[in-house]
Structure 1
Amino acid sequence: MDSRKDETAAVSHEGPAVRWMPGGPSGTEGEAMDDDNSVPTSATHPAPCPGTSPRWGRRPGAVRAGALGAALLTVAAGTLLACTAHAAPLGPALRADTNRDGEITPADDLGKDTWTRGRGALMLPNVDDDQRRCPTAGPAGTRLRDDRLAACHDAADTVVNGRADLADLAPAQIAADPRAVAGTTATVTAAPASRDHVGIFAERHGRMVRLGPGDRLTTRELRHGVCLGIEARDFVRDPKKWNGFADLVLRVDRGGHTAEDRVRLRVAPLVFEHDLMPMRRMMTADHTTEPAQVERGKRYDPSAQPRPTRSGEAVFRHDLRRGLDRAGLTAPLYNYPTGDDVWMQDLFKTAYASIPAPGGREHRVTVLLRSADVMPGTATRAFPLRDASRSAFPLLRGPGTGVLQQYDPRRVGSKDSQYYGSFSSTGNFGTLPPHTWRGHRYPVGRVVYGGNGGKESPDTSFLRMLTAQGYQRPIALDTSWLGVGHIDEFLSFVRARNARGWVAVVSDPDLGEKLLSGLVRHGQGGRPLVRGIAPKDTADPGLTIAGALRKPSLTRGTDIARRGIDAALRTLRVRAGLTERDIVRVPALFDVIDLPAGYPRHDVVANYLPGASNGVSTGTGVYLAPRQHAPAAGGGDVFERAAEQALRPTGTRIAWVEDWDYAHHLGTVGGEVHCATNALRGHAGTRPWWTERD
């Protein structure tokens, strides 16, 4: 369990909103605390620095000279913001968790006004909605603009929204100065470059109060010490506008003399989840409910299985359920209202941000990053992004979870969005799992996405934001040869029993061609290429195995895909040290897409048979992959058998999922299991992002 809460409870909407307060090591549960409007941390004393409650520790106060205390100002499960006194410093002392141990002590003083990758205080972007106060519809149920939906979160106001919100504030402390003479006052402000990007709260008169530039702390407060809480109001989006750093300045005025101290903090980056993380809930599309219905307050239970309405939907769900059971994941499918949109993976990317908590734990906020796909034909200035991704606001935004969006509004109405917009879908983004390469340590992996640096690339402002995080340094793979342009059309990652702990599952069109050629040599060339599917539901009714090997669009598709995949693997070898031992090749068959005259893209391909690499790792040793429907020989599907044999040494097992009607054969290029699902993952055993080293 996370240091903050049980995340499944936070998003399930299956019961009262409670925040779990872990009382022990990861995986144990402590006190359940109802979210309310009260910020005090104890029934007998105001928050966040109570002096009587053992839950909170001693209030920072005047101590006799030379006294040694165990200073503590923590953001943790059992201790949200607690201050304990130390001997009075010689001058004004402003402290934060510089050494990232989840506590504040004099050990944090060294280098506190600077920041390096190995040392420096952190603050959380407070973008969740702990009291579910954010509206999702206007008067009379009118739909809110996309930008208005996204603008509401806990950092958008100037108050602390209950106890759960208090936990999202990064701890800071003004040490007690019992020698402060009468008339001494002080201010705590952020330097001008970051003033609009951070919120500073102080415990005053039993409440957490937002401090403005002109608010002064009194002599009494300075004598007793002051507990502070710091929030970042957003992530870094454009480093030219804000680089993510905040210098907090304490200025103490004593009878015309001024003394100063300062601390530097950095906002925690947006961190993409990776596929080795164990899945908590698999998300699938609910086509019986429109996003607008849940925005307007329709009661919705995401665990209630909807009536299948699309061809192949029932068997798709059945096989997912069976595969999850095999993986030991018993939670119900998490249903997400999309209307007619099948492509769950293209709606948002699951990510998080975290800061240190005591005991080596992390305090996290989950973030759903909406796709920057400006939809051709339907996008307007008010509603530019994919409509189905809006359901994340009423359904998932809440305690411990925020929803974020970033896109270039100039793309609305542009023809480029019609031709190249798919590159901005979140299905085109993945995470290379944790690894070390050439002295660089990536404990939470690296972002990987498809694009060639030109028009066939994701939204530039979206990429700028990812790069600006400063961690998980993105790797671009040229996917301009793919019709949909997504990396999941040929690449995924699963756990493995090797030095890395994982392998890349990669489509191999040469292997697919080799398997078919072997069948022809054994006299099987006259059999249908596609097995188990009615001819009318295939692209080429009556196409045989031998005919496929002669079909120009398939032979050309094999050549294009081979060159594209080889180029991508070369990039991964150079940028991440991938070797052939780290690659599992699975058979594939690619076809050149027949596009209308005048279309600016040409010689692009799609999977002819379902792509086995377009699957989902459960993080527990099972890989959900689409049934292949390739010819059978020796008692089984030749493509499926080859994929199973390739993955067997890794220890990962394949659970086959029927997706031909529901996803593969849908539209111009279709998709597979990964495209049609999304996942909420756990973080047990994950190393902190701040241990990344260049």
Structure 2
Amino acid sequence: MSQQRTILLSHLRATHSVCVLGTKCLLDIYGSFPPGADSFTVQGSPGVHVCIVYNPEKIQAGPNTALWPLNRGAEVTVTTVVPSEHINDNKVKVVYYGGNGKVLLGSARLYLTSIALSLHVDTSRDGTVDIKNTSKASWTWGPYGHGAILLVNCDRDDADSQGTDNVDMEISSYADLKDMSCLSLKSQGPKTFFKTNKVLLHVSPSYSEKLRVFHRTATDIDYKHVLGSDTLFYEVEYDGEEEHTFYVEGLSFPDAGFSGLVYIGVTLLEVTEKGIPESPVFTEKVVFRMAPWIMTPNTLPPQEVFVCSLPENADFLEQISELAKSANCKLTVCSEVDSRKDRWIQDEMEFGYTEAPHKYFPVVFDSPRNRGLKDFPFTKILGPDFGYSTREPINEFDVTAMDSFGNLEVSPPVTVRGKAYPLGRILIGSVVLTNTGRRMTQVVRDFLYAQQVQAPVELYSDWLIVGHVDEFMTFVPAQNQKGFRLLLSSPTACYRLFQEKQKQGHGGAILLQGRDTHQKTIDDVLSDEKRRAESHYVQSCINWNRNILKKELGLTEQDIIDIPALFLMEHKKARAFFPNMVNMLVLGKRLGIPKPFGPIIDGKCCLEENVRSLLEPLGLHCTFIDDYVSYHQYDGNVHCGTNVRRVPFSFKWWNMDLHSHGIRGILSSL
């Protein structure tokens, strides 16, 4: 039973009211009864179930009698069995007695109209509306959970539209309709009843800007906007139909101050007498959860590679094209006109997706960096079944390099101290102390935390000049229990390798030969005490993150591979000395790794050979890509200059068990 209402009875005149199937009506038999009455009996017609609720320690019902003491110790409730065919065709009669039940003093009569009225949504999450959805007003996580789901309708199915589909109040096409969730209002009862009483669909002001509701007309052609966007109530007009179909459109992803839950209600208003305002006799609500935006890690199969065309990167483009072709990926090249000389396509956007039981589509999340590529995600990627979202701070001066999305990554699925994160965990670069240094702007961080399903971990990246997490870490697929390995940049590993080569008599081998006016030999690097001290500092910063990642991703040392790297310090910040090999493009088992131009020993780059020896046993194919002129000299490498759209997770986010996770994730940088 969804609710209970009270009906006041009177012995002076008959009462007419309505009872909705699935509800209990409490009869107030004490408000108006004949003077001197001390007991009563109650009877209902065949369509009414009458129930007496009492405390047997205080009230003793006599054997073989329906006579009850009138001492407020007994409650009378009634329910109806089937919808009425006619107005007032269900009857209840309360008879009052005095003289200890021996004298008939009067009676109260109730005429009930039984109505079926209910909202229905996809509570079982199988893509179809459930008729028997008793748990529709609550939402629970997990494989045995329940509750309907809304997609944020942020794609653009109408080619003539100037924005995403959720900015207008129209349904432009059948494709647009498929992005919405169905809501059904079913009713049964005498047709004349619905012509004289009101049925209102409604949403509270706090949710009105988060959704829109459209009513399908009888012609199945037009869809009328009826709720949301400042419209809080809609009176459903009845012309004999027993089912009304509505389509619900999500407008906003979860965010700060918005959990993602939205409620829609229906209320029946009864008209008692002409000139008297109608009164509510029944209300019911259903809940939807807005589907989150979900990031995809390197370990998911690639679908499409994005890269910018520049005057000086023709060779780079050719190498990326060959790599994408070998990985069976589509290649999309952003023209010089569209990029406006901005080469950092990884920093501009992050690909993810959103999903409901009935529909999935990718969504590009546009960063607030707003450089040359700022319009590319909106003008070139947004389209049919390809969504768009962004977050911009109020003050544009709050945006720093930390808000570029090279500073936004996600781990593969992990289990940490018994807690499963089947969609991985978001990783963002930040500072050690929150009152100093740079960190990702609050509006972006709020958005990422609010999605709930990829509980963020904050790392320390402010020690870098650019400040991005992809400068010291990445994930690659592996045939181990976890399904991946974490790669970390390591000055210590580089020094160890160079010391080994020096002992083998190769101290004179040149690093960055032909690529830098400040070429160094292995001997030069190992004898430079200032560089060694700087490398020790950099390694300590990476080790700080190493420990965070081990703790928050449940990793051991066996899950981590150290990739040789060297950094230079400028103004107390670090940048890569030679191309940073962890800043790679991962396309399944094929890796596009920045060519490090390491010391040539026996005709081969010793840095490349070292990395091959670490990664090829995992079944990975290493392709070293020359990005020195076009990217490295501008403080970025292959990963910074590319972007990848990937296959979504097969795991459904609503099946997560978040009861043990909490909803804010873990702030690991404090």
Q: Does 1:444 align with 2:437?
A: no
In 2, the alpha carbon distance for the partners of 1:589 and 1:442 equals 33
Matches of 1:364 and 1:661, distance apart in 2: 40
Counterparts of residues 199-348 of structure 1 (less than 5 Å): 199-205=212-218, 206=220, 207-212=222-227, 213-220=232-239, 223-239=241-257, 242-256=258-272, 258-287=281-310, 309-310=311-312, 313-329=313-329, 331-336=330-335, 337-348=338-349
Matched, 1:173 2:177: no
Q: Which has the higher helix share?
A: 1
Higher mean Cα deviation, 206-215 or 188-197? 206-215
User: Which protein is richer in strand relative to its size?
Assistant: 2
Deviates more, 1:165-174 or 1:641-650: 641-650
Shift of 1:325: 2.9
Q: Find the aligned partners of 2:578 and 2:650 in 1 and give their Cα distance.
A: 36
Q: How far does residue 677 in structure 1 lie from its aligned partner after superposition?
A: 0.7
1:561 paired to 2:526: no
Structure 2 match to 1:102:
127
SS at match of 2:375: helix
RMSD between superposed Cα atoms in Å:
2.1
Deviation by residue 1:599-618 (Cα, 9 ceiling, x = unmatched): xxx2x211111111100211
Aligned residue for 1:584? Answer: 561
Q: Which residue of 1 aligns with 2:521?
A: 544
- Distance in 1, matches of 2:194 and 2:501, equals 93
- The amino acid that maps onto 2:223 is M
In the superposition, relative to structure 1, how do residues 643 and 110 fare at CA in structure 2: closer, same or farther (>3 Å)?
A: farther
- How do 1:651-690 residues align onto structure 2 when only pairs under 5 Å count? 651-666=619-634, 670-683=635-648, 686-690=650-654
SS in 1 for 2:289: strand
- Which of the residues 412, 420, 441 maps onto 1:433? 412
Partner secondary structure for residue 388 of structure 1? coil
**CA distances 1:162-193 after superposition (whole Å, capped 9, x unpaired):** 11110111122112425553414422122232
Structure number, greater radius of gyration: 2
Within the alignment, does 1:351 sit opposite 2:347 as a pair? no
Deviation string 1:592-643 (CA, Å, 9 cap, x unpaired) is 12x3xxxxxx2x211111111100211x211111112111224421111111
Q: 1:580-599 CA deviation, whole Å, 9 max, x = no partner?
A: 12212211112212x3xxxx
- TM-score normalized by the length of structure 2: 0.75
Look up the equivalent residue of 1:209 and give its one-letter code. K
Q: Quick check: 1:396 aligned with 2:381?
A: yes
Contact 1:92 1:261 in 2 (8 A): no
Report if the CA contact (8 A) 1:443-1:691 is conserved. Answer: no
Corresponding residue of 1:638: 606
Q: Which residue of 1 aligns with 2:462?
A: 480
Aligned equivalents of 1:440, 1:475: Cα separation in 2:
15
| Counterpart selection for 1:607 from 537, 560, 576 | 576
Q: Size of the alignment, in residue pairs?
A: 524
Confirm or deny that 1:155 pairs with 2:166.
yes
Equivalence map 1:71-90=2 (5 Å): none
Of 175, 178, 186 in structure 2, the residue corresponding to residue 164 of structure 1 is 175
Contact 1:432–1:445 (CA<8 Å) still a contact in 2? yes
- For residues 301-355 of structure 1, give each alpha carbon's deviation from its aligned partner in whole angstroms, at most 9, with x where no partner exists: xxxxxxxx12xx12211211222233233x3443352121111111111122111
Gaps of 5+ in 2: 1-81, 84-113, 273-279, 659-670
Q: CA deviation at 1:444?
A: 1.8
CA contact (8 A) 1:585 1:643 kept: no
Q: 5+ residue gaps in structure 1?
A: 1-63, 66-88, 136-151, 288-308, 358-362, 374-384, 596-601
Q: Is the 8 A contact 2:411 2:427 kept in 1?
A: yes
The CA deviation at 1:675 is 0.3
Q: Provide the C-alpha distance between the structure 1 equivalents of 2:172 and 2:472, rounded to a whole number of angstroms.
A: 44
Structure 2 residue aligned with 1:381: none
Secondary structure of residue in 2 paired with 1:392:
helix
Per-residue deviation, 1:672:
0.7
- The amino acid across from 1:460 in the alignment is Q
Contact 2:156 2:386 in 1 (8 A): yes
Q: 1:372 aligned to 2:343?
A: no
Q: Is the 8 A contact 2:512 2:597 kept in 1?
A: yes
Within 5 Å, give how 1:117-156 maps onto structure 2. 117-118=141-142, 119-135=146-162, 152-156=163-167
Separation in 2, partners of 1:253, 1:679: 54
> Which string of whole-angstrom CA distances, capped at 9 and with x for unpartnered residues, describes residues 219-254 of structure 1?
336x42011111111212321xx3322111011235
1:30-75 deviation digits (Å, cap 9, x = unpaired):
xxxxxxxxxxxxxxxxxxxxxxxxxxxxxxxxxx99xxxxxxxxxx
Contact 2:116 2:187 survives alignment (8 Å):
no
- Read off the aligned partner of 1:210 and give its amino acid letter: H
Partner letter of residue 190 of structure 1?
V
Task: Give the whole-Å Cα distance in 2 for the aligned partners of 1:133 and 1:465.
Answer: 29
Q: How far apart in 1 are the matches of 2:328 and 2:347?
A: 26
Superposition pairs for residues 12-27 of structure 1, below 5 Å? none
Deviation string for 1:520-573 (max 9, x for gaps)? 222221232224xx2xx41514x2211112224531332122111111111111
Give the secondary structure class of the aligned counterpart of 1:215. Answer: strand
CA gap 1:90/1:517 in 2 versus in 1, 3 angstroms:
farther
Letter in 2 for 1:686: S
**SS where residue 395 of structure 2 aligns?**
helix
Q: Is the 8 A contact 2:590 2:621 kept in 1?
A: yes
- Choose between structure 1 and 2 for higher RCO, CA contacts under 8 A separated by at least 6 residues: 1
Matched, 1:91 2:102: no
Relative distance call for 1:182 and 1:508 in structure 2 (3 A) is closer
Amino acid at match of 1:159: E
Structure 2 residue identity aligned to 1:435:
V
SS at match of 2:363: strand
Code of the residue aligned with 1:322 in structure 2: it is E
Distance 1:627 1:204 in 2: 62
Decide whether aligned partners of structure 1 residues 325 and 158 sit closer, same or farther in structure 2, where only a CA change above 3 A counts: closer
Which of 486, 509, 521 is equivalent to 1:527? 509
Measure the CA separation in 1 of the matches of 2:443 and 2:460: 19
| Equivalent-residue separation in structure 1 for 2:267 and 2:383 (angstroms) | 37
Q: Distance in 2 between matches of 1:185 and 1:568?
A: 61
Q: Is the 8 A contact 1:520 1:545 kept in 2?
A: yes
AA matched with 1:656: F
Opposite residue 356 of structure 1, the aligned amino acid is P
